[in-house]
Amino acid sequence: MNVMNKMQLCRCVASEVIRPRVSYHFRPSARCCATKPCTGFTLIELMITVAIVAIIAAIAIPSYDTYIRRADLSTAQQEMLKVAELLEKHRARNFSYDGFVLKGTATNQGAYYSVPSATNTTLLLPLTATSANQKFTLSLTVNTQAWSLKAVSQSPRNYSLLLTSTGLKCKTKTAANITTSSCGNETEDW
């Protein structure tokens, strides 16, 4: 006889009513009665479920946080490379970096950047960010024949970046170490 379909009797202690009951894996408890079916979870089953959910959350949440930081860093790198391309186009037209302004430019794809004024040399990332929800602050330093672009992270757990006209690309987790020409100690290339 199949264990899953085996019929058992469930006795009600108070009224001694006997009725057939389908048992799956558990023995009927003394609380079963003809008017009340034997259903529900035990405290152990509930605690095991809570423990499993807690373990999954403990693994997933930090992993997701790391993923978001890497995505923000990638966005900052892309925007820095776009600004570098615009700087080189400006130099090709004007034979100098002088006069380059980091400002919104209307194209068929929309505005490149949105900055508070035409003379401002900083912008916030992501591009739609305000000072309250920014992830990075891009700062541009330009002279006649050279430029440097810094992206300082608002999160101490993420990298801050430097890109220069000489081809230096470095990143560091200590934002205070970044100057216009180096990333200081404990740097990595990107």
* 37 Cβ contact partners less than 8 Å away, ≥ 6 residues apart: none
Cα–Cα distance for residue pair 149/34, rounded to 1 Å: 78
Global pTM? 0.64
Residue 154 lies in a domain: yes
Q: What's the whole-number average pLDDT of the chain? A: 77
Residue 36 lies in a domain: no
- What's residue 171's pLDDT? 93
- Edge-to-edge strands, sheet with 169-172: 122-125, 136-142, 147-153, 160-164, 169-172, 188-189
Q: Could you tell me which residues are beta bridge partners of residue 36?
A: 33
Residue 135 lies in a domain: yes
Q: What is the tally of structural domains in the chain?
A: 1
- What's residue 133's pLDDT? 82
Phi, psi of 40 (to 5 degrees): 120, 175
Residue 30 lies in a domain: no
Residue 106 lies in a domain: yes
What are the angstrom distances between the C-alpha of 148 and each of 24, 46, 117, 126, 177?
A: 71, 58, 20, 20, 15
Residue 147 lies in a domain: yes
Dihedral of alpha carbons 88, 89, 94, 99, sign = negative
List the one residue out of 186, 185, 174, 157 whose CA is nearest residue 70.
Answer: 157
Residue 17 lies in a domain: no
Cα–Cα distance for residue pair 183/35, rounded to 1 Å: 76
Residue 98 lies in a domain: yes
- What's residue 81's pLDDT? 92
Q: Are 113 and 80 in contact (CB under 8 A)?
A: no
- What's residue 3's pLDDT? 45
Q: Which residues of the chain have pLDDT under 50?
A: 1-14, 104-112, 114-118
- What's residue 40's pLDDT? 82
Q: Is 4 helix (H, G, I), strand (E, B) or coil?
A: helix
- For residue 178, the enclosing domain spans 61-189
